[in-house]
Amino acid sequence: MTAYIIRRLLIAIIILFIVTLIVFFSIRLLPGDPLVIFLGQQATQGGVSTAELDRLREEYGLNDPIMVQYGNWIWGILHGDLGKSIYYHEDVGILMGERFPITLHLGLLAFIINIVIGVLMGLAAAIRRGTWIDAVTTTLANVGICIPVFWLAILMIYFFGLQLGWLPIYGYTSPFKDFWLNTQQVIMPVFCMAITMMATTARLARSSMLEVTRQDYIRTAWSKGLRERSVIMRHALKNGLIPVITLLGIGLGMVFAGSVLVETIFAIPGIGRLLVTSIFAQDYVVIQSGTLVIAMIIILSNLLVDISYGWLDPRIRFG
Amino acid sequence: MTGKNTIAEEFQEAPPRVSEWRRFWRVFLQRRIVIFGMVVLLILVIIAIFANFLAPYDPYRGEMEDSLQQPNSTYWLGTDIQGRDTLSRLIFGTRTALMVGFVTVGIAAVIGVTLGLIAGYFGGIPSMIIMRIMDALMGFPMLILAMLFAAVLGGGIQNVIIALSIATLPAYARVMNGLTLSIRENDYIMAEQAMGSSNIRIMLGHILPNAIPPTIVLITLQLGGIIMAEAALSFLGIGIKPPGAAWGAMVNDGYRYLSQNPVLSFAPGIAIMLVVFAFNMVGDGLRDALDPRLRGIL
């Protein structure tokens, strides 16, 4: 097991290194000087002198050779310094630190809903295969995967916000400040974030449970005369849900991708919205460090998934 | 292929011969939902090709006095703020969506399959380099990676295609790598090597043909995701640039006039759903018909 973990860890470090290269050099492909693009927008309003531009370029280290810039960036990240935003004039670490709990809050809720409802749906469909329960849940899951998140958000805003007036259509208040308002505000965003995940989980749980219930040991359990509940709960579920763990990694990616859309629509100040704002502001420092942090989180959680997979299923560890 | 068949016939009793094509069609058309998906796709392809003839109005120019009309007998789905006919823009949006989808999977599949083939066949250092880069690309959520590249390249249909191709090619490389590794173990590959066939010949003539069915399934299943991602990018305003007709952008345009004319946002969303649903269903059907073992893998 230790050898397996060390091997996985080494691979993860190599992947992370390649991720930094991708992020850094794709941003540097930006035609033109990122600072000039950004200041160009300001110049039309106030005007920035060449001397000022040179000073800023020096400040952001854009005069250094590109490898030195890369080295400085990595060095900073290893020391917890993600750089300073051009647009917000603030440390990216602080910007992300403020927004991360909000995305985490929404993502965690979406995730819980996803696991509970998704797994239950998949389970019900698999156990009652071929009945109306299976037909309904499978159809729901197939449709759920196809719903564009941003469109569902707008649909919900229209019906629950504008027509019925039940829920606020945008904003985010800290749950510690006003818990009730916060709950009302997060219902729609959380549901939108969860929908694709939920459908995916349901489909995966169904097919993997069907796979398991065909195994010999399940037939043995039945022929021993065990009750359905104990066959399902004690024998089938344990193996049937192993593939669902993979979704923990995939789901995290979905949370971030969903947060980009959902937070933009509901005007929630989270990581996703920060990224979109920075793209429009051409704030390369935030884009660069923001995408890196997201990729880092996903790669590390995939590492944990891999390790727990190896722990749960020895065939993988020694494979 | 023919050589392999004759050997098989010599050594074992041949089962009653059913044409592969007939078997494929029987399984493929077994489920009604797959037929539905197929029909929807055919209709959409026809709409995309003949958009110029089918669209009742110019999708890019509207009459300002007809701004924000509700659906009526002249404008079946109403008009947007610039007085452009929603139905016509929807029809031209079909062309955009399908074009982005097909061109992107084309590029991503060719590059991804080639990389996966090289990595799987040669193993060692080439495999190490290629597959770790693919792993790194897969570390990003697809939408965020596409956003990164679209932002760097600057939007527009061409750049959206490039961004989505980069974001989706690791899937092909990974699947192809796995397939190559398993196909390479077959005796006929060893026989080819013993006969002195070149690596290129073995890769293109023997491994690639065997890997085509799963690749076709993957392509079909990816198409829905790509169209969805293009819509999301265009919705955010980093995808297809106005006045181009893109469903995602239409949803966003309509969002501002949601209380006046909700159809503007609702209609393109339904179109997106329909396309993605159709591709997913056809993909599922193809998977069952071409290779049921792929269930749960693809």
Tell me how far apart the alpha carbons of residues B214 and B293 are, in angstroms, rounded to a whole number: 10
Q: Which of A31, A146, A254 minimises the CB distance to B141?
A: A254
pLDDT digits (tens, 9 = 90+) for B68-120: 677 777 767 777 777 777 888 888 989 999 999 999 999 999 999 999 999 99
Find the residue in B nearest to A19 (Cα): B136
The pLDDT of residue B79 = 75
Q: Which of A29, A149, A253 minimises the CB distance to B141?
A: A253
Angle, alpha carbons A76-B134-A288 (nearest 5°): 30
The segments of chain A whose pLDDT lies below 50 read: none
The pLDDT of residue B2 = 45
Cα→Cα distances A155→A187, B125, B257, B264, Å: 14, 50, 13, 11
The residue length of chain B stands at 298
- With a cut of 50, say whether residue B1 has pLDDT above it: no
**Chain A CB contacts of B276 below 8 Å:** 145-146, 148
B273·A253 Cβ contact <8 A: no
pLDDT digits (tens, 9 = 90+) for B22-80: 777 887 777 888 889 899 999 999 998 988 887 777 777 777 776 767 777 776 777 77
Per-residue exposure over A62-98, b if at least 16 CB sit within 10 Å of its own CB, e if not: beeeeeebbeebeebbeeeebbbbbbbeebbbebbee
Find the residue in B nearest to A30 (Cα): B152
Verify cis geometry, omega within 30 degrees of 0, for the bond prior to B59. no
B251·A147 Cβ contact <8 A: no
Supply the pTM of this predicted model. 0.86
B296·A11 Cβ contact <8 A: no
The pLDDT of residue B168 = 92
A287·B151 Cβ contact <8 A: yes
Please state which of the ranges A21-25, A26-30, B5-9, B127-131 shows the lowest mean pLDDT: B5-9
If pLDDT is split at 50, 70 and 90, which confidence band does B217 have?
confident
Tell me how far apart the alpha carbons of residues A283 and A41 are, in angstroms, rounded to a whole number: 12
**Chain A CB contacts of B280 below 8 Å:** 142, 145-146
Contacts A–B by Cβ distance under 8 A = 139
Tell me how far apart the alpha carbons of residues B146 and B228 are, in angstroms, rounded to a whole number: 12
Find the residue in A nearest to B131 (Cα): A15
**Chain B CB contacts of A103 below 8 Å:** none
The pLDDT of residue A227 = 83
B149·A261 Cβ contact <8 A: no
Query: B36 CB contacts (<8 Å, ≥6 apart)?
Result: B278, B281
Tell me the pLDDT of chain B averaged across its residues.
83
Tell me how far apart the alpha carbons of residues A231 and A224 are, in angstroms, rounded to a whole number: 10
In a mutational test of the A interface, the residue from B130, B132, B138, B148 whose CB has the highest number of chain A CBs within 10 Å is B148
Q: What is the average per-residue pLDDT within B154-173?
A: 89
Coil, strand or helix at A84:
strand
**Chain A CB contacts of B248 below 8 Å:** 148, 150
Residue indicated by tokens 């999708």: B59
Higher pLDDT, A84 or B176: B176
Say if CB B184 and CB B120 are below 8 A apart. yes
What are the φ/ψ torsions at residue B85 (nearest 5 degrees)?
-70, 125
Q: Which of B137, B147, B255 minimises the CB distance to A260?
A: B147
The pLDDT of residue B272 = 93
The pLDDT of residue A186 = 85
Say if CB A287 and CB A27 are below 8 A apart. yes
Please compute, for residue A222, the number of CA atoms within 13 A of its CA located in the half-sphere on the CB side: 9
Residue A272 distance to chain B (closest CA, Å): 9
In a mutational test of the A interface, the residue from B144, B255, B256, B272 whose CB has the highest number of chain A CBs within 10 Å is B144
pLDDT digits (tens, 9 = 90+) for A200-245: 888 888 888 888 878 888 888 888 888 888 888 777 877 777 777 7
Say if CB B134 and CB B173 are below 8 A apart. yes
Handedness of CA B114, A294, A289, A284 (dihedral sign): positive
Over pLDDT 90: what percentage of chain B? 25
Interface ipTM? 0.85
Q: What is the average per-residue pLDDT within B139-155?
A: 84
pLDDT digits (tens, 9 = 90+) for A128-147: 888 888 888 888 998 898 99
B79 forms bridges with which residues in the sheet? B85
A264·B141 Cβ contact <8 A: no
